[in-house]
Amino acid sequence: MTVPPRLTADMALFLDFDGTLVDLAPTPDSVKVVDGLATHLNQLYDGLGGALALVSGRPIEFLDFMLMPTELPAAGLHGLERRMSRQHPIESAETWPGIPEIKEKFFQANLFQDGIFLEDKGIALAVHYRAQAERENEIRDQVARLAEQFPTLNTIHGHMVVEVKPAAEDKGTAVQRFLRQPDFAGRIPVFIGDDTTDEDGIRVVQELGGYGIKVGEQKSDAIFRLPDVRSVHDWLGQLNVPLFFEDVRNGHVSKTSSTRSNKE
């Protein structure tokens, strides 16, 4: 495993959420945030001169809830939502051609049975099949066949999930937008993520002279790797080391998303 160099104050840092800042959970509404993480990210934001953004498949509203009271620049729903700075409101498309229609086709196909369920993100849809992991290829193929009927939509694969979203945006385009902002411009771009959906962001930062950090053992174009979420926290602590690390080592956790599962 190629360990990344130290985090330095001249970087522009882009962070995935699930599997990167928090451990993956059996369902989207059961992730847990380690105590002190929000405070630490806030300190990193200051230490990097504002050049820190979350780039996630989650809605920005969900990220804000999990990290409250910290609100950071963020791209949600793989770039379909964005808040370019703390001072800007969240921008998003309300609807997208094909999303309501393919949702209806999912139900007509009786896709959601035996623990397979739909996460409706509004302008994107996620089909979770962790309970039927042995049927992965079958479920992915079925979703792909339905999505082919809608040229404006794209299918992407994650950990036990297949998502259908507008093809116009991904984590790479989200990173490119941030790098045009004053706080991010002229810095070394670094993207940290664990899933296949993060590869777009990883490729963009490496094309621009920065580097990607892959969390875990999945195949990746990233130059560097870290083994797990704990190691990500440790790496992030190289710039400013708060009491956060004592919380991590003691295994303290705080908010879960169970009270907001309808917002994912």
Catalytically active residues, by annotation: 16
DSSP H helices in 2-48: 37-47
Q: Scanning the structure block, which residue is given the tokens 């996460």?
A: 119
Distance CA 230, CA 124 (A): 30
User: In what side-by-side order are the strands of the sheet with 188-193?
Assistant: 91-92, 81-83, 74-76, 52-55, 11-15, 188-193, 211-215, 224-226
Distance CA 57, CA 81 (A): 10
State the pairing for strand pair 91-92/81-83.
antiparallel
Distance CA 203, CA 143 (A): 26
